[in-house]
Structure 1
Amino acid sequence: MTIEVHGIRKRFGSTVALDGLTFTVQPGRVTGFVGPNGAGKSTTMRVILGLDAADEGTALVDGAPYRSIPRPMTKLGSLLDAAALQPSRTARNHLLWLAHSQALGGKDVDRVLELTGLTAVRNRRAGGFSLGMRQRLGIAAALLADPPTLMLDEPFNGMDPDGIIWMRGFLTSLAAEGRAVLVSSHLMGELQDTAHHLVVIGRGRVLADAPLPDLLAVHGTLEQAYVDLTRGAVEFRTSDETR
């Protein structure tokens, strides 16, 4: 099960958001998806999910557009915005609402609450959750239908140190089960400890698409690789940075 992005181009008015983006997310590994603000990461994820339409190119999940897949959460689970929930619903009811849309039931909800450490707070209203807890709830939603492919945008945001350690191990375990996992993040240290492969983009183009060890062999650290590769694609720089 893969995510295949091929030749995606997307404009918003006169602004080019994606400029021929091509990469593949393979099963059995965590693929880090990184780039400066405005590089096109969120737009790419929205195109994969069919929330934005590409002007050119294709984005396929298991060989088909996401929007054409019956019960699509059984193929690809996603977390784009941890705040996208009805705050008056309890955590369990939020997940039940999603589960019913995919012909799933309460046992599936209880399974993912346990997986993400939310069983004890399942009857609390989600609007009162911290950002870290909302991230866990979003990941629980992504896992509801036990999909072979996952796509997570900034899952480390709002996590305390214990949560970050849990997230690292959790992502690694998902890949070890043979799932394809795409993770967008600005936290290079966390990706260096988690990712197997990196796709680096800037200004809507792929700047690097390589195994993590290959990047580390050249640049030493993932943070340095990021700085070196995206130097010409950063929108806002100080005068010192342009020297």
Structure 2
Amino acid sequence: MSEATIVVDGLRKRFGSTQALDGMTFTVQPGRITGFIGPNGAGKSTTMRVILGLDRPDSGAALVGGQPYRTLRRPLCHLGSLLDAAALQPSRTARNHLLWIAHSQGLGARRVDAVIEEAGLQGVARRAAGGFSLGMRQRLGIAMALLGDPPMLMLDEPFNGMDPEGIIWMRGFLRSLARQGRAVLVSSHLMSELQDAASQVVIVGRGRVLADTAVADLLRTSSSLEEAYLKLTRDAVEYRAANGTEAAR
């Protein structure tokens, strides 16, 4: 699965006076889950948008299987993504939402029904998606990401809104994707879930990579991924409260 590789190489991006990306560089390898973590404003969302061709970098490149995403024919067959679970037409049923996207990629109803089953949506597939809980919308977003049976997936906060059963399902689902040889990039603030699921982690701050290493290596010097993360990002948070603790955004 050598084609199943996401390469981020020297990305720089400025929005006005804000340097959102400052040489962001890392690689997501096939057959593993790579966690993508950092404080608010670290550049995670901008990086993922650049990978998908939604934002253009000032310099550097992001390649999906060796090509820019925007040049791909039937891009969902190369990289499936979930950035915003709320990005749907609320009056459409879940199945019709997926059918609409599938038709844009030359995919048929049989594939739609397959991903509905894989995401555990059989019982609600003909309900309007606007009435879904956040956890169910996450599952619908996962189904959409799987439509093209892509060798690469990129998921932003997939655990959000999940109940305990959903979190367990998501953890096992991500592991199954990696076992199939897919490259999986997961952005999340839930360190405990990434510690259990990811084999590699990219920790970022202020638009650059602070660490790109195996989770097991971090745990040799820290009691948890959360502790290692806090050590590495202590100087990269957006701002701190008067007592020195990180302030909430």
TM-score category by the smaller chain? Answer: over 0.9
Alignment pair present for 1:240 and 2:208: no
Number of residue equivalences: 243
Match of 2:134 among 131, 153, 156: 131
- Equivalent runs, 1:64-143 vs 2, <5 Å: 64-143=67-146
Alignment pair present for 1:194 and 2:197: yes
| Residue identity matched to 1:159 | M
Match of 1:172 among 168, 171, 175: 175
The CA distance in 1 between the partners of 2:242 and 2:210, in whole Å, is 24
The CA distance in 2 between the partners of 1:107 and 1:241, in whole Å, is 55
Alignment pair present for 1:185 and 2:188: yes
Identity of aligned pairs, percent?
73
What displacement does 1:236 show? 2.0
- Equivalent runs, 1:32-43 vs 2, <5 Å: 32-43=35-46
Q: Structure 2: 5+ residue runs without aligned partners?
A: none
The CA distance in 2 between the partners of 1:217 and 1:29, in whole Å, is 20
Q: Structure 1 length normalisation: TM-score?
A: 0.99
The CA distance in 2 between the partners of 1:211 and 1:70, in whole Å, is 33
In the TM superposition, structure 1's runs of 4+ consecutive aligned residues that sit over 4 Å from their partners are none
The CA distance in 2 between the partners of 1:169 and 1:56, in whole Å, is 37
- Equivalent runs, 1:26-37 vs 2, <5 Å: 26-37=29-40
Alignment pair present for 1:220 and 2:223: yes
Q: Deviations over 1:155-208 (max 9, x none)?
A: 000000000000000000100000000000000001001001000000001000
User: What's the secondary structure of 2:22's corresponding residue?
Assistant: strand
The CA distance in 2 between the partners of 1:235 and 1:88, in whole Å, is 38
Counterpart in 1 of 2:62?
59
Q: Structure 2 length normalisation: TM-score?
A: 0.96
What displacement does 1:122 show? 0.5
